[in-house]
Each structure stands twice: as C-alpha cells, then as structure tokens.
Amino acid sequence: MNDPIKHSALAAAGLLLAGSSAAVLRAQEAGGAVSDGVYTEVQAERGQVAYVKYCRTCHADTMAGIDSAPALVGGTFLGDWVGQSVSDLADRIRMTMPLSNPGTLSSATVSDIISWILKVNGYVAGATELPRDGQLQQTIRIDAPKRAD
C-alpha cells in the first residue's frame, strides 16, 4: 500500500531524527568550556529562583555552604569542579539534591541551577541555553572563569 500521508510523516520523522543526531555530533566535536558562555541570562534568572526554592536552605543565600553542604561559589567550588564536565555536576545535583528529596529535580531545573551557579562564579552568559541533555553536557568542560582585563 502506498499511502502518501504515511510516507510523508515517516520521511519528516527521519529528517528530524537525522537533524537532531547531526546537532549532537556537532556539539560533541566542538566541545567547549563553560567560560565560552554556555548559558543565557534568562536561564540563570530561572536558576536563581530554583536555587532559592531547592538549594538555599543548605548552601546559604551566599552559596558559601552551611555545615556539611559544600560551597557552590569561589575557590572551593572551583577546586572541586574545574576539569570535570557539566554532566558530572548535573549528575551530582540530579542524584543527590535536594537533600530532603534527592532525585526529584528535572533536567531543566538542574540546568537552570547550574547556570545560576556559573553566573555567581563569574562565568559570562552566552546566546544559547545550557543544554539539558547529559550527552551534550558531557562535551562541556568546567574551566576557570576568564578574568576581565
């Protein structure tokens, strides 16, 4: 049976899949670092709201940490995370936070919170949101923030 509507739908789905696969491959080939501007200001603003809701109780308003909750800003944070991928940080947050209900944050919320953490640590925003996809996050390395000259 040669159904033109079914054939068109299958062709469109194939193109969509091929296009998204190509985008993933380009991102993996390109790699990158958080200092290249991997989040947007709007995303960081959403992250700030999520941080207040889910993280502030343990990590403090200043992100300096309280008791056993580590600092999310400054030398301690950078010492722990520089050289690792955004995916490593996202996985840690996604699996262990919030402490009162671990594993409940969505990938979107985790990416927004990471964007806020990056902003507070002095990383510049860019034109594209930090991806939610772990495979894409794996290609982005956490480096030291660039200093303004």
Count of H-run helices and E-run strands, the chain: 7, 0
Q: pTM of the prediction?
A: 0.79
Is the pLDDT at 31 greater than 90? The verdict is no
Tens digit of each residue's pLDDT (9 = 90 or more) over 76-115: 999 999 999 999 999 999 999 999 999 999 999 999 999 9
pLDDT in tens, 91-101: 999 999 999 99
Q: In the structure encoding, which two tokens stand for residue 70, read together?
A: 């580590």
* Number of alpha carbons in the 13 Å side-chain half-sphere of residue 132: 9
How many CB atoms lie under 10 A from the CB of residue 60? 16
Rounded Cα distance between 119 and 121, Å, is 5
Q: What is the mean pLDDT of residues 35-41?
A: 97
Q: What is the DSSP letter of 101?
A: S
> In the predicted model, what is the mean pLDDT of the chain?
85
Q: Is the pLDDT of residue 6 over 70?
A: no
122: left (phi over 0), alpha (psi -120 to 50) or beta: left
**Count of Cβ atoms closer than 10 Å to residue 67 Cβ:** 6
* Apex 22 CA angle, 20 and 23, nearest 5: 65
- Give the model's confidence band at 149: pLDDT under 50 very low, under 70 low, under 90 confident, else very high: low
